[in-house]
Homo-oligomer: A and B are copies of this chain.
Amino acid sequence: MVLYVIGLGLGDETDITVRGLNAIKSCDKVFLENYTSILGIDHKLLSEYYGREVILADRECVESGAEVIYAQAKEKNIAFLVVGDPFCATTHTDLILRAQEIGARVEVIHNASVMGAAGACGLQLYHYGQTVSIPFFTEGWRPDSFYDKIAFNRKGGLHTLCLLDIKVKEPDFEAMARGRTVYLPPRFMTVNEALEQLLEIEDRRKENVYSRETMCVGMARLGQPTQCIVAGTMEELLTVDFGGPLHCLAIAGEVHCLEEEMLVHFSVANWKARQELK
């Protein structure tokens, strides 16, 4: 039988492809990977829309106990749903290879991902270098490997897409020390938090990779009706409220003239003017 690995796109239940929806309707069980991205709607709405129970698969389930998912694909059709495109945030390579090893057929159904939708900000996808991830800093852990990657991209005149950290189902160690299994509420890094961390690293490393004057584009809820895109310097974007998750950020490299026109379109001034019209 078939393990369908299906991208859900970025917005709501209607962002699935017709092919994906038909596949789900042929499935006995439907799992939703819910730790690398989120849709703009509650997963319970998906259950209603599909007429199928949607089982949440957290990181532990997918990374350690994945046979719960793939082993069933030997006898039944199983759907494994991923927000965005199945190969974007995590490749789920392991799940796919293991399923094939036990003789299940695997069919991947692609969809929009943030890496493609980020093209909406006007910086052309052709001019991006390596994508980086920015993790939440903690008191003792403030990694800066993204800084070197941004430096490399900017040396080549390239833009950098920064994907921002998501913390879902993180254990609450304090409660666990008292013997209870408790999870912290989910956290999603904002554009503002990302900019603060980026500037902290520049202030520490001082290699002039970027500055408060560097042109960036903050993006929130890409592909959703409330999508928000604002372009400005890091300094300017620090003051913009992008609203609910998910956020991502592009750091501009060399800006070409067609791109320039789009950055003006999305400028802080134009954004403020649109806010006042509402």
Binding site for B on A (CB under 8 A): 7, 9-19, 21-22, 85-88, 91, 93-94, 97, 108, 110-113, 115-117, 119-120, 122, 124-131, 133, 152, 156, 158, 222-223, 258, 261-262, 265
Interface pair B131/A130, CB less than 8 Å apart:
no
Which of B93, B108, B133, B152 lies in contact with A262, CB distance below 8 A?
B93
Chain B contacts for A88, CB-based, 8 A: 116, 119, 125
Chain B contacts for A10, CB-based, 8 A: 110
Chain B contacts for A86, CB-based, 8 A: 119
Interface pair A130/B126, CB less than 8 Å apart:
yes
Whole-angstrom distance between the Cβ of A150 and the nearest chain B Cβ: 12
Chain B contacts for A15, CB-based, 8 A: 17-19, 110
Do A120 and B87 contact each other (CB < 8 Å), given the known contacts A130-B156, A152-B156, A223-B110? yes
Whole-angstrom distance between the Cβ of A250 and the nearest chain B Cβ: 12
Do A14 and B22 contact each other (CB < 8 Å), given the known contacts A87-B125, A93-B262? yes
Interface pair B17/A258, CB less than 8 Å apart:
no
Whole-angstrom distance between the Cβ of A226 and the nearest chain B Cβ: 13
Interface pair B97/A119, CB less than 8 Å apart:
no
Whole-angstrom distance between the Cβ of A248 and the nearest chain B Cβ: 14
Whole-angstrom distance between the Cβ of A18 and the nearest chain B Cβ: 4
Cα(A71)–Cα(B123), bound, Å: 25
Apart from A14-B22, A87-B125, A129-B129, what 13 extra A-B contacts exist at CB < 8 Å? A9-B110, A13-B18, A14-B17, A14-B18, A15-B19, A15-B110, A17-B17, A18-B18, A86-B119, A87-B120, A110-B120, A129-B158, A130-B156
Interface pair B122/A131, CB less than 8 Å apart:
no
Cα(A85)–Cα(B12), bound, Å: 17
Interface pair A16/B18, CB less than 8 Å apart:
yes
Cα(A17)–Cα(B258), bound, Å: 29
List 19 contacting pairs A-B, 8 Å CB cutoff, sorted by A: A12-B19, A15-B17, A17-B111, A18-B21, A85-B116, A85-B117, A87-B116, A87-B119, A88-B116, A88-B119, A88-B125, A91-B124, A91-B258, A110-B112, A110-B117, A110-B120, A110-B222, A110-B223, A128-B130
Whole-angstrom distance between the Cβ of A118 and the nearest chain B Cβ: 8
Chain B contacts for A261, CB-based, 8 A: 93, 97
Chain B contacts for A124, CB-based, 8 A: 91
Which of B87, B91, B127 lies in contact with A130, CB distance below 8 A?
B127
Whole-angstrom distance between the Cβ of A177 and the nearest chain B Cβ: 34
Select the residue from A17, A113, A122 with max chain B CB neighbours within 10 A: A17
Interface pair A7/B125, CB less than 8 Å apart:
no
Interface pair B116/A116, CB less than 8 Å apart:
yes
